[in-house]
Structure 1
Amino acid sequence: MDRYDLHTHTTCSDGSYSPRELIDLAVTKGLAGIAITDHDTIAAFAPEVLAYAKAHKIDLLQGVEISAYYKGQAVHILAYDFKLDVPELHEFITLQEERRRVRAEEILEKLRAHGFEITFAELQRSHGSPLGRPHIAALLIRKGVVENLDEAFARFLGDSAPCFVPMRQPEIPEALRIIHAAGGKAFIAHPHFYNDFEFVKELAAFHFDGIECYYARFSYQVNMRYKRLAERRNLLVSGGSDFHGQGKPFNDLGVAYLEKANLFPRKNSL
């Protein structure tokens, strides 16, 4: 059975495995292919990474997880099968990285107001770009402020915590326009998280191409609810683990996947 995990992250965003290490793990897990879907960056798709995947017989799909919003709520969009050389896509990614940088600086300012002296230069040295809350959490752990990621989010960084800052994000139509202009396909990421099926149905009314129906360790019954919605709306189906490595240890690579026979058609293979 040829399995594809279509939702993974690397050290180019907030994962703990480099792109090459992720490819090695895919080989170990017996996967036929993976999509790297880092947050708001396509930095993983360097020529040497593409060559490494080919040499190790891993079918590598280009992807990115884009942060957007709808009705004041964060919505993640998985983009696949886009052309890597589209200037407008690169401009959009650069803007997303800048939004993340501004947000990180605002979070650090709040942390300093709570008595924790952490500079932006320290944060950049520890990771680079794009920056997210997990990177700030990792720095808090290294400085001994908290013991683990859960504590960092509970005390400081979570949506209801005192140092939370929402990220300025594009609206869904703008994100979809960019993806489609680059020849890509746009999927609603992990609809399982919204706890509001009506909200997901509203999202599906936008010009999405598909839904991530198989996600992480959710049950067959839950996954089938979103698959039926995709079928009713004539949308494509995706599936993946949302693998991050140390950041989400229970989302092991390959715990959710699509079989090759069910993979959506591709126009822009790497």
Structure 2
Amino acid sequence: MNNIYVDFHTHTVCSDGNYTPEEVIEMAINKGINSLAITDHNYIHENISRLQNKYKDIELINGCEISTSYTTDKGKKIEVHIIALDFDENNENFKNLIVSNHPDKKAYVENIREKLKDNCNIVIPSYDELKILYPTKHIGRMQIADYLVKNNYADDLDEVFDEYIGNYGKRKAFVNALDYCSYADFDLVIRSVIDAGGVPVLAHLFSYGIELSECYSLLRRFCHVCDGKGGLEVYYLKYSDEMIDTLKELAIRYNMFISTASDFHGRGNDALNNKIHEIEKQHVYHIIKTPKKLK
């Protein structure tokens, strides 16, 4: 069976990426990618059809990365991301959900700022000042990390997250976003994606700072709510081959659609589908064509 190249998790300047949608699409074409989804955070691109007419050498899929509020079995609130693919961008309920899923992050950012100052003797601009520095971006960890790199507090983004604000590592200034802002309910988002004719995909399962047993519990909950209509990011660029093999086994076990993701933002060593993950065409068709369309 022929293999095709896909990337279903990328970002642009419409959220926290560094390149325009047109630039990302052109990069993907140059990489030989056949199917692409631009999945900006809590943002619906309404011009995908226009871009598809402009770029004939690639298939563009409606995409969005949605932040959700999820409570683990141990009662811990965490932010979990759902990738919505191939949905009807004109579905009013879905559009309203995305529009309302932008909580005020000022208290969250200011708390990180305080911890950086108190724990690390690092002073960064206030939330309002960061908004001036990053006028077209959502203000959050990515902008803080970018500021720290540009001002020589770290060599790259990975070092910032490992040392200061990431879910893993030393966590010297880590702050749980859900302590200061609330996103849409996990179950509600999954059902809303399906109701809009789309495919919900559970993003980067091993990146939520929870125990492995909690990751599996999260996956089971996702599958229960999806009822056979969901997918899993298996070929995730930032994961080891061993982690990818585990995710592939889980996807097969739970009869989930397989997705591939670079999580491209356009920073540092960031790359679009850099490893060029090969996916069997039948798996790709499962992810870009909703169950309704397959029948």
TM-score range, shorter chain: 0.7 to 0.9
Partner of 2:62: 62
Task: Report Cα offsets for 1:103-130 as digits up to 9, x if no partner.
Answer: 3344345557667251333322333343
Deviating more after overlay: 227-236 vs 246-255 = 246-255
| Distance in 1 between residues matched to 2:236 and 2:124, nearest whole Å | 38
Partner of 1:238: 259
| Distance in 2 between residues matched to 1:257 and 1:226, nearest whole Å | 15
| Distance in 2 between residues matched to 1:80 and 1:136, nearest whole Å | 29
2:177 to 166, 183, 200: 166
1:87 matched to 2:79? The reply is no
Is residue 241–residue 255 contact of structure 1 (8 Å, CA) maintained in 2? Answer: no
Partner of 1:258: 279
Q: Which amino acid in structure 2 is aligned with residue 13 of structure 1?
A: S
Task: Report Cα offsets for 1:181-238 as digits up to 9, x if no partner.
Answer: 3222111112244661533543344323121222215455543433333233232221
Q: CA RMSD in A?
A: 3.1
| Distance in 2 between residues matched to 1:241 and 1:115, nearest whole Å | 31
Q: Which amino acid in structure 2 is aligned with residue 136 of structure 1?
A: I
Is residue 11–residue 19 contact of structure 1 (8 Å, CA) maintained in 2? Answer: yes
Q: How many Å apart are 1:172 and its aligned residue?
A: 1.7
Q: How many Å apart are 1:35 and its aligned residue?
A: 0.9
Partner of 1:118: 125
Q: 1:153 to 1:262 in 2, by over 3 A?
A: closer
Partner of 2:17: 15
Matched length: 266
| Distance in 1 between residues matched to 2:106 and 2:280, nearest whole Å | 37
Deviating more after overlay: 29-38 vs 54-63 = 54-63
1:213 matched to 2:231? The reply is no
Is residue 164–residue 174 contact of structure 2 (8 Å, CA) maintained in 1? Answer: yes
Runs (5+) with no aligned partner, structure 2: none
Runs (5+) with no aligned partner, structure 1: none
Q: How many Å apart are 1:22 and its aligned residue?
A: 0.7
| Distance in 1 between residues matched to 2:153 and 2:246, nearest whole Å | 41
Partner of 2:212: 196
| Distance in 2 between residues matched to 1:252 and 1:4, nearest whole Å | 8
Q: How many Å apart are 1:147 and its aligned residue?
A: 4.6
Q: 1:257 to 1:120 in 2, by over 3 A?
A: farther
Q: Which amino acid in structure 2 is aligned with residue 166 of structure 1?
A: A
| Distance in 2 between residues matched to 1:102 and 1:92, nearest whole Å | 22
Q: What is the percentage of aligned positions where both structures have the same residue? A: 30
Deviating more after overlay: 104-113 vs 74-83 = 104-113
| Distance in 2 between residues matched to 1:240 and 1:25, nearest whole Å | 15
Q: Which amino acid in structure 2 is aligned with residue 35 of structure 1?
A: A
Is residue 213–residue 237 contact of structure 1 (8 Å, CA) maintained in 2? Answer: yes
TM-score with structure 2 length normalisation?
A: 0.75
